[in-house]
Structure 1
C-alpha cells in the first residue's frame, strides 16, 4: 500500500473561507430537483412554496452539495495532493434553515478528521454554510476515502486526462508536496467557523401531510422505485459539478476496478431524501439527513438501473414532536445504504 505523499493527519484543522459566495438560483433549484427526480411542487412553483410559508423556491435536501463541490475544490486539489481520486463513504446534512431562491451562501471549509482504517485514509470535510444574514443555514460533513495509485490501474490518470471536461485542472491530484493553505486565494487558516445557528428549522411550524399523532414506531413509508439511465448520470454530473468519469465512462470505471459505470453516491442520497420529503409533504421539516454508503448502483449501457426505497419510523420524541426515519435503498438485490436516517419535525 502506497501511503499519501505527506502527513495528511497533520492537516487536520486546516480551514478556510471560500473566496466568493454561492447565489442560489431559481433555475438551478429546478435543474437539481429534476436531476434527483424530486418533483415536490415547492422546488418548482413559487405559488406552491408560498402555500407552505416559503418566500421562494425551496432547494432540495442535498442541493447544498453543489455549492460544496465548488468550495472544496481548493482543499481536494491543492492540499490533498497525495491521492489519485476520492470515493465517498458517508454524508451528513444538518439543517438549520431552509435554503431558498436568492440566498447567498458562504462556506467555511475544514478538514475536520482523518482516520486510517484497513490501510486507507478516511478524510472528513466539514462545510459550514452561512447566508446573507450571517446565520448558519446548513452544516455538511463529507467523508471520503483517499485512493492512491496502488489501488487503481496505472493508466487511469492518463485516461482521465483524455476524457475529462475541458477546463478542469486535474494535475494537482498527482502533484508532489502540498501547497500551504496560506497560498490559497481568498483563504484564511485562522478564520473561525460561524457558530450562530439559525433557529428557523427548529422553531418554524412544519406544514407536513401528517401530524405527530398520526405516526408510531414501526410505521412504514410507501415504497418507491426509481429508474436511472446513463443519461441520468450524465445529467447529474453536469448539474452537480461532479465530473468524475467513473459515473459515465466505461473505460475509466474499469480501470478503477468497478464492474461498470456506477451512479453517484450523492445522486442516490438525493433520491432517498426526496423519497422522505415526498411522504412528509414539507421538505423544510427535515432537520438532519445522514447516509453511509455500503455499495453502489451499477448502470449498464443497455438497460436502466433500479433503486428501491423503503422506510420506517425508528423512534419518536413526543416532547420535541420529532421522529427518526430509517431509509433502505437497494439495487439489484444489494443494499446501497449501509445506514441512512432522516430526523423530521411534525406539527
Structure 2
C-alpha cells in the first residue's frame, strides 16, 4: 500500500525542543531499576566518584526516554500518515557521560526514509548537547510506519478504552528552529578520558566470551518500565491488544531488552562510561506471560580489538524461548 503523503519529502525536517531536559538523580535510579542494572555508579555517588564521575552516571540507554518526549511532535503531528510505529533499529553514540544534574538540549531530525517490502522505514536522529553547546550523545532510531491496512480494524477502538488517560491533553514539547552553527564537538570526554574498567586491554583476546546472564521479566517489570520510560504502547501489558496487533502475547519493550543488554556488558566492564557505541537490530521479541516470568539469555563475545585505540568490539546475543531478539547487536568499548 502506498503512503498517502510524501514522507520522503520530509527528510531533513528538524527542530529543537525549546526546553532542556534535566537529568534527575532519582530518575537515574528508577531507570537503572527498570532495566535491572545494579552497577554501583548508577546508585551510589561515592562509587561514581571512584570512577571519576561528578555524580551518578545514567545507564547506557537512558537517553531513549529523553528522546521519546522530544520526538512526540514529529511522530504525532508531522508523520500523520501512519497509525502506529514499530521499532526496528537503535544506535547510541556516546561523546560525554550523562550525569545527574546535566541539562540536555535535544535536536530532532527525520534523517532518512527507505521503502522496503512495501513499508516505510523512518530513521529519526536525536542530537543531545549540553547547555554550553558541547556534544553529549547522538541517537538514531529506526521505526516502520504502520497504516490501518496493516493492523486489525478493531485495534483503535480497543486501545482507546484502555490507554493511559490524559495523553490528548498532555502538552507536546514546544519546538524552535535549531541553530545553523555547527556543534562544538571538541570535548569528546567519553572517547578521551581514561576508562576505569576492571578489565585491561592486555587481558582479553579475540573470541573471549563474557560470563552469560539470564534476566527474568514479569508483567510487573514491563508495567514498571513503561511507566519509567513513558512508553504507553499497550502491547507491552495488555494481552488483548497484543493479539489484535498479531502478537502471541504481551511482549517486552525493545528498549528494555537493549537496556538489559547494556547492563550485562557494563557490569562486565566495570565502568558504565566505557561504552562509546551501542547498536542493535530488533528482529524479534521476548514474550512475557501472565502466570510465569519470561527469560532473556545474554551472551557476549569479543569480536575484534584495536591496540592503538585500546578498544574492543563486543557482539551481544540475546535469546528468549530459543529466538534471537537482536538480529545483530554490537558495542564498542574502551579499556584501560
Q: TM-score range by the shorter chain?
A: over 0.9
CA distance in 2, matches of 1:315, 1:92: 19
The residue number in structure 2 matching 1:103 is 102
C-alpha distance after superposition, 1:19-53 (max 9, x if no partner): 21000000000000000000100000000000111
2:296 aligned residue (304, 307, 315): 307
The CA distance in 1 between the partners of 2:76 and 2:195, in whole Å, is 40
Candidates 309, 318, 321, aligned match of 1:320: 309
In structure 2, the residue matched to 1:143 is 142
Residue in 1 that maps onto 2:183: 194
Check if 1:266 corresponds to 2:255.
yes
* Cα distance, 1:26–1:148 mapped onto 2, change above 3 Å: same
Over the residues paired in the alignment, what is the CA RMSD in angstroms? Answer: 1.6
| Residue 276 (structure 1) aligns with | 265
Aligned counterpart for 2:193 among listed residues 194, 201, 204 = 204
Quote the residue 1:213 is aligned against.
Answer: 202
Alignment of 1:238-257 (within 5 A): 238-257=227-246
In 2 relative to 1, CA 264–274 (structure 1 residues): closer, same or farther, beyond 3 Å? same
Match of 1:180 in 2: none
Q: Which residue of 2 aligns with 1:166?
A: 165
- Residues 43 and 185 of structure 1: CA distance in aligned 2, closer, same or farther (over 3 Å): closer
> Cα distance 1:192–1:16, how it changes in 2: closer, same or farther (>3 A)?
farther
Confirm or deny: 8 A CA contact 1:14 1:189 kept in the other structure: no
Partner of 1:76: 75
Q: 1:190, 1:13 → 2: CA distance? A: 14
User: 1:4 offset after TM fit, Å?
Assistant: 2.8
Superposed, 1:17-36 pairs within 5 Å as 17-36=16-35
Moved over 6 A (4+): none
- Cα distance between partner residues in 2 of 1:132 and 1:204: 21
Match of 1:236 in 2: 225
Give SS of 1:111's match. strand
**Maintained 8 Å contact 1:329/1:335:** yes
- Unmatched 5+ stretches in structure 2: none
What do the CA deviations read for 1:261-313 (whole angstroms, capped 9, x no partner)? 10000000000000000000001000000000110111111111000000000
Mapped partners of 1:144, 1:191: distance in 2: 27
SS in structure 2 at match of 1:270: helix
Q: Tell me how far apart the structure 2 counterparts of residues 225 and 293 of structure 1 sit (CA, whole Å).
A: 18
Q: 1:238 to 1:65 in 2, by over 3 A?
A: same
In 2, Cα distance between equivalents of 1:236 and 1:337:
19
TM-score by length of 2: 0.97
Q: What per-residue deviation string (whole Å, max 9, x for no partner) do you get for residues 188-212 of structure 1?
A: 2775663525310111000000110
Task: Find out whether 1:91 has 2:90 as its counterpart.
Answer: yes
Separation in structure 2 between the aligned mates of residue 169 and residue 97 of structure 1, nearest angstrom: 35
Of residues 191-200 and 248-257 in structure 1, the stretch that sits farther from structure 2 once superposed is: 191-200
SS at 2:107 equivalent: strand
- How many residues are aligned here? 335
- In structure 1, the gaps of 5 or more residues are 171-182
Instruction: Establish whether residue 333 from structure 1 lines up as the match of residue 333 from structure 2.
Output: no
Query: Matches of 1:191 and 1:292 in 2, distance apart?
Result: 32
Inter-partner Cα distance in structure 1 for 2:92 and 2:188: 16
Kindly indicate whether the alpha-carbon contact (under 8 Å) linking 2:28 and 2:58 is maintained by their aligned counterparts in 1: yes
Query: 1:148-181: per-residue Cα shift (whole Å, max 9, x none)?
Result: 11110011111111111111129xxxxxxxxxxx
**1:288 counterpart (257, 274, 277):** 277
